Amino acid sequence: MIKGHTEMLILALLQNTTSMHGYLIRQELTDRSNQIVHPSLGRIYPLLAQMQKKSWLKSRPETVCENRVRNTYSITPTGRAELNVRIKKWELFSAGINRILSSCPTK
């Protein structure tokens, strides 16, 4: 089985945008997957911190209101390389699963 699919999805989201904050990342994952992927904010923020430590993401503070600051995240070149590796692994994994499922009768 493949671990880390949420990290791959976060990298994929950030690949096509300049930056996003954590809540928006969660919303986009949920919306774009038709509510199939819906990680909690308690899962998203630790993942973002881990991904930043691995140099896959960089963060920048953004002032939202007078006294409110939030971090926005963007993908780094290291993160793009990691995304490419993970996409290749996912393609191999899903192809194997599809080969098994194609032999099952459907109703």
pLDDT (0 to 100) of residue 43: 92
Tell me which H or E stretch contains 57: strand 57-63
pLDDT (0 to 100) of residue 62: 86
**Closest residue by Cα to residue 7 from 70, 59, 50, 71:** 50
pLDDT (0 to 100) of residue 75: 97
pLDDT (0 to 100) of residue 1: 55
Mean pLDDT by 10 residues, the chain (107 residues): 83 94 94 91 94 97 85 96 95 92 80
pLDDT (0 to 100) of residue 2: 63
